């Protein structure tokens, strides 16, 4: 009540005391007006405070937006391989198509697709009665001619026949011997033989078919001769050689690598493409088949303790490689742009050249480097912004102040 009396004008108090009027209603009215005024004043102050804080927050956010977040890794040593990568389809060097050499009817098929055969094995038999009869007839005539030749030879020795007689007998034997060879060859054509050892991969005829000369009968592949042929740029020629290890990947048989090695390097460079043909030999029993699409890696160099830089940290500008290294403390970070030479590289890392200014332990940006400039200020991704702490403290202080003012007004009203 004393506070309230202090707020009312002295003249009004004296008049009220002299007239004896009750002060309760007036006091309440005064309290009500005073409370409303205080609330309006507090709201105005609060609005100004919030507006001021909002402006400060905007300025702080703009300032923070100028610090792009980046992700970094620390460089370390590890093993790395230099590889050359190519794509190609597998081929079988020993792959033949078997054709007929005579026009006959097929009487017997000896093999099916997938069968392993040896060189000279019978694949199919053709009708051969006519050829056998012809062979037997010529053999009989030849036997007779040989007996006649011996008889003429004996008579010539006794000077009972002329030299012409012995010459005629000799000629007859020679002609029949040639005919015998032809008959045997024609009979041989009734059996189709495997020209190489391998696997039957295709059969194109059936029993009873009447085939013609040079008709395609079988496909035969030697799976021990599967190779991958790749074409390497001539600038890599110094890194190539027979015996170079290779790895092959095929999506159709899983992601595991199959092994191979370089068995031939062409002695010339193709002037049109500027490449060298390299043949990679593949051991059998690796589930690789002719015609498969494969990725080939030629391992040209290996290092067991190289400085490893993630490939995702490297950016390219006009055929030059760069990366960003962080300098300074976590509260004041600067991204320094460095040019880096690439000595070796694999699928995930590069090995920088000796003149590159990087070392183990350096913090290298691997995400967020797009658009960065040399010397740009950055912050670590996931790091709490300093403005967030300041804003939080100011918000708490403002809330406490507003709560205190509101409490005072409420207390005055209640006391009134």
Residue 44 — pLDDT band, cuts 50, 70, 90? Answer: low
Alpha carbons within 13 angstroms on the beta-carbon side of residue 216 total 7
Using alpha carbons, select from 316, 321, 326 the residue that is nearest to residue 68. 326
Range 157-185 average pLDDT: 91
Contacts of residue 55, defined as CB under 8 A and 6 or more positions apart, other chains included, come to none
pLDDT tens digit string along 225-266? 899 999 999 998 888 999 999 999 998 888 788 999 999 999
In degrees and rounded to multiples of 5, residue 55 shows phi and psi of -65, -40
Identify each DSSP E strand in 43-175 by its residue range. 69-74, 76-89, 91-92, 95-99, 106-109, 116-117, 122-126
Q: Using an 8 Å Cβ cutoff, are 241 and 265 in contact?
A: yes
Using alpha carbons, select from 129, 110, 106 the residue that is nearest to residue 208. 106
Q: Using an 8 Å Cβ cutoff, are 208 and 121 in contact?
A: no
pLDDT at 7: 45
pLDDT at 83: 85
pLDDT at 122: 95
Cα–Cα distance, 197 to 307 (Å, whole number): 50
Using alpha carbons, select from 78, 90, 74 the residue that is nearest to residue 346. 78
Q: What is residue 149's three-state secondary structure?
A: helix
pTM over 0.75, yes/no: no
Contacts of residue 251, defined as CB under 8 A and 6 or more positions apart, other chains included, come to 293
pLDDT tens digit string along 324-334? 898 888 788 88
pLDDT at 384: 60
Crossing angle of helices 163-188 and 129-157, rounded to 10°? 160
pLDDT at 270: 93
pLDDT at 5: 44
Using alpha carbons, select from 42, 43, 38, 46 the residue that is nearest to residue 7. 38
Q: What is residue 106's three-state secondary structure?
A: strand
Range 345-362 average pLDDT: 86
pLDDT at 396: 54
Cα–Cα distance, 134 to 184 (Å, whole number): 9
Residue 353 — pLDDT band, cuts 50, 70, 90? Answer: confident
In degrees and rounded to multiples of 5, residue 412 shows phi and psi of -65, -45
């Amino acid at each position: 009540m004393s506070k309230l009396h202090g707020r009312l004008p002295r003249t009004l108090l004296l008049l009220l005391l002299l007239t004896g009027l009750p002060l309760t209603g007036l006091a309440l009215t005064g309290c009500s007006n005073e409370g409303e005024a205080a609330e309006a004043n507090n709201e105005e102050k609060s609005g100004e405070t919030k507006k001021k804080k909002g402006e400060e927050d905007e300025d702080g956010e703009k300032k923070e937006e100028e610090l792009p977040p980046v992700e970094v890794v620390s460089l370390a040593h590890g093993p790395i391989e230099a590889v050359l990568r190519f794509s190609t389809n597998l081929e079988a060097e020993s792959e033949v198509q078997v054709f007929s050499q005579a026009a006959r009817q097929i009487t017997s098929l000896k093999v099916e697709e997938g069968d392993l055969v040896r060189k000279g094995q019978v694949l199919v038999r053709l009708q051969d009665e006519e050829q056998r009869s012809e062979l037997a007839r010529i053999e009989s005539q030849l036997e007779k001619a040989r007996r006649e030749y011996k008889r003429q030879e004996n008579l010539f020795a006794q000077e009972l026949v002329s030299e012409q007689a012995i010459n005629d007998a000799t000629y007859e034997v020679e002609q029949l011997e040639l005919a015998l060879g032809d008959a045997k060859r024609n009979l041989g054509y009734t059996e189709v033989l495997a020209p190489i050892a391998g696997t039957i991969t295709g059969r194109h005829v059936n029993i009873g078919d009447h085939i013609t000369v040079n008709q395609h009968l079988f496909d035969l592949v030697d799976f021990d001769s599967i190779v991958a042929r790749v074409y390497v740029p001539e600038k890599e020629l110094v890194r190539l050689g027979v015996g170079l290890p290779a790895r092959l990947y095929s999506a159709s048989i899983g992601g595991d690598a199959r092994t191979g090695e370089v068995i031939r390097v062409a002695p010339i460079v193709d002037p049109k493409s500027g490449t060298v043909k390299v043949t990679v030999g593949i051991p059998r029993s690796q589930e690789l088949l002719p015609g498969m699409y494969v990725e080939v890696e030629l391992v040209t160099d290996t290092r067991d303790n190289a400085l490893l830089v993630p490939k995702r940290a490297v950016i390219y500008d006009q055929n030059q490689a760069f990366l960003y290294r962080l300098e300074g403390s976590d509260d004041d970070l600067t991204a320094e742009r460095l040019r880096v030479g690439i000595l070796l590289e694999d699928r995930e890392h590069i090995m920088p050249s000796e003149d590159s200014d990087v070392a183990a332990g350096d913090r290298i940006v691997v995400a967020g480097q797009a658009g960065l400039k040399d010397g740009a200020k950055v912050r670590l991704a996931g790091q709490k912004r300093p403005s967030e702490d300041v804003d939080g403290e100011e918000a708490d202080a403002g809330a406490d102040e507003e709560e205190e003012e509101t409490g005072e007004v409420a207390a005055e009203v209640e006391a009134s």
